[in-house]
């Protein structure tokens, strides 16, 4: 039997619904809104891979560029069984708003392969990545479309993309991909950037609400790169992490979990199951845990119309892309739950990806302290702009953040005009 998809609704339709709300609230020219609701280019590629047992398996891959009015396309590639073309299109749109909100001179893009990377050997992953890169190579490049990591991919995957592209063009082209290992032109601070940016948003929110993180309880769904580092950072700020989960389930302790012990247990055993001193819970139960800050850091649509009325957090920080559906947004807003939207809360990754791209072009690399300091400036500025609009017009943080991003992209589109 095929696995049940985590997607309850078509993500592209949800992204367009969000855009329609923004266009109405910010009086975006309907013709411009029509352009922004479509993706510039969508590729579907067939990826034959020789498996370790000698057989050949064919995977399906995608690469979508949403908009390039503000600069070259930019976005990650995800390896997950549920990857679809419409999901990738939606993710590319959200990336466009994210880049515009933070002032990064990129347009949105996204890519993915429908596969389960946990079931593939290292060799199979490398062959899959290299063939995927070769299939889309005519449409990517440092001034065209720049790749990055996402769900199911990591710096080593980015290194394979970089090497494959470079072998095709005949010289090393670092800027075609970000999130690379330091040894081949990556940036200090990139691995933790998404989580560190989320931390800056959490700190700014705590300051606005008059309650420091050291007095707050936290639940985090997803213990991959984003969730794992965010748990460390929030615990380092004194927050009491009461619940954590990964794809197989979670753990809960109202007195507080030892984050380092939990991460070590997962690294050793492959999951959080059996963590000493903690009660096992499901991912659904984690989302309904009583806490001050809930951070869904896994996949889309985990908070939806069916469970939003039972979320007991005061603040929801979207570490993942699209974890709260539009219908759930309405319910949470009516209940007074503050949602820190994805295009703001998890924008740290693309900000430091931009820093990595700049460093590669200049052939001059920054220290980790410099990267983190510049990231804080960009994230704090984006948060402050969003919060000011949120208060000034009485908008939700999502509508304010999306509005700023969409308006900036609409302005760029209008200024450039139509060709021919």
266 as an active site residue: the answer is: no
Check: CB of residue 226 under 8 Å from CB of residue 298: no
By DSSP bridging, strand 279-281 and strand 249-252 are antiparallel
User: How far apart are the two ends of the chain, measured CA to CA in Å?
Assistant: 50
Q: Give, as one character, the DSSP assignment of residue 5.
A: P
Check: CB of residue 72 under 8 Å from CB of residue 146: yes
Residue from 41, 74, 98, 110 carrying the catalytic annotation: 110
SS3 113: strand
Closest by CA position to 245, among listed 277, 276, 284, 213: 284
SS3 188: coil
Q: Tell me the two tokens of residue 338.
A: 């503050």
Q: Tell me the two tokens of residue 389.
A: 């609009």
Q: At what angle do helices 11-25 and 326-334 cross, to 10 degrees?
A: 50
Closest by CA position to 347, among listed 97, 14, 152: 97
- Where in the sequence numbering do the catalytic residues fall? 110
């Amino acid at each position: 039997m095929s696995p049940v998809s985590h997607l309850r609704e078509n993500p592209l339709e949800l992204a367009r619904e969000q855009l329609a709300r923004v266009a109405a609230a910010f009086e975006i020219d309907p013709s411009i809104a029509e352009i922004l609701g479509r993706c510039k280019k969508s590729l579907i590629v067939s990826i034959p891979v020789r498996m370790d047992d000698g057989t050949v398996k064919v995977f399906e891959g995608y690469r979508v560029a949403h908009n390039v009015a503000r600069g070259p396309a930019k976005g990650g590639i995800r390896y997950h069984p549920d990857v679809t073309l419409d999901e990738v299109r939606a993710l590319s749109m959200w990336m466009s708003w994210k880049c515009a909100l933070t002032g990064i001179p990129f347009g949105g893009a996204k890519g993915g392969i429908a596969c389960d990377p946990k079931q593939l050997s290292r060799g199979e992953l490398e062959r899959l990545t290299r063939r995927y890169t070769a299939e889309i190579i005519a449409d990517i490049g440092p001034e065209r479309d720049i790749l990055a990591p996402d769900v199911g991919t990591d710096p080593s995957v980015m290194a394979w993309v970089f090497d494959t592209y470079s072998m095709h063009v005949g010289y090393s082209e670092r800027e075609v991909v970000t999130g690379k290992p330091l040894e081949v032109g990556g940036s200090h601070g990139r691995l933790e950037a998404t989580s560190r940016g989320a931390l800056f948003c959490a700190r700014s929110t705590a300051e606005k609400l008059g309650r420091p993180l050291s007095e707050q309880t936290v639940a985090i769904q997803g213990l991959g790169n984003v969730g794992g580092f965010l748990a460390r950072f929030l615990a380092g700020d004194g927050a009491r992490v009461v619940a954590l989960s990964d794809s197989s389930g979670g753990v809960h302790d109202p007195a507080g979990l030892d984050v380092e012990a939990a991460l070590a247990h997962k690294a050793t055993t492959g999951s959080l199951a059996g963590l000493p001193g903690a009660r096992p819970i499901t991912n659904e139960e984690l989302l309904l845990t009583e806490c001050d800050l809930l951070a869904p850091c896994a996949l889309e649509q985990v908070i939806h119309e069916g469970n939003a009325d039972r979320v007991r957090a005061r603040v929801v920080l979207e570490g993942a892309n699209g974890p709260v559906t539009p219908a759930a947004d309405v319910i949470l807003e009516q209940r007074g739950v503050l949602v820190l939207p994805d295009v703001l809360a998890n924008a740290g990754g693309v900000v430091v990806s931009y820093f990595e791209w700049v460093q590669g072009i200049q052939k001059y690399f920054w220290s980790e302290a410099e990267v983190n300091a510049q990231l804080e400036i960009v994230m704090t500025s984006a948060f402050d702009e969003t919060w000011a609009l949120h208060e000034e017009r009485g908008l939700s943080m999502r509508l304010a953040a999306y509005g700023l991003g969409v308006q900036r992209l609409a302005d760029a589109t209008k200024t450039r005009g139509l060709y021919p």
